[in-house]
């Protein structure tokens, strides 16, 4: 009996955000503000720690993706300009279909960069 308790307590210590406790619904504005405030104060690294210490009931991967794809201040969400589209075509010729790398050059989401490259 004591052995089972030790195993469960070690599991809880290793995985404080067990899947049953994680929130899987869409992100709210309040959660976005909490994540943004935490990252502004502590930095954007060790995503499991960010998820645990910020008080969000989200996994580290969920926090990382929300930051990278929605909240990052350098992320541009406006439509591509003609110059950006031409630049994407040039990058595609140089890198091939490495859309994550191309997106990092134009500070857009990977899918947006890929769609813009395919539109040309």
**What CA–CA distance (Å, rounded) separates 18 from 60?**
12
**67-80: b (≥16 Cβ within 10 Å) or e:** beeebeeeeeeeeb
**What CA–CA distance (Å, rounded) separates 87 from 76?**
15
Question: In the chain, where are the structural domains located?
Answer: 26-73, 82-119
Fold of 26-73: Arc Repressor Mutant, subunit A (1.10.10)
The residue ranking higher by pLDDT, 7 or 120, is 120
The residue ranking higher by pLDDT, 23 or 97, is 97
User: Does the pTM of the predicted model rise above 0.85?
Assistant: no
- Is the distance from CB of 12 to CB of 18 less than 8 angstroms? yes
Q: Decide: helix, strand or coil at residue 67.
A: helix
| pLDDT value of position 2 | 45
């Amino acid at each position: 009996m004591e052995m089972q308790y030790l195993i469960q307590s070690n599991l809880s210590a290793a995985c404080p955000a067990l899947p049953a406790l994680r929130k899987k619904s869409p992100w709210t504005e309040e959660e976005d503000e909490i994540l943004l405030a935490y990252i502004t104060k502590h930095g954007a690294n060790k995503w499991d720690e960010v998820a645990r210490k910020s008080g969000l009931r989200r996994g580290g991967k969920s926090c990382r993706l929300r930051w990278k794809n929605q909240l990052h201040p350098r992320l541009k969400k406006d439509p591509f300009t003609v110059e950006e589209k031409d630049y994407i075509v040039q990058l595609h010729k140089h890198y091939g279909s490495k859309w994550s790398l191309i997106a990092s050059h134009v500070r857009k989401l990977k899918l947006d960069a890929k769609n813009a490259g395919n539109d040309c």
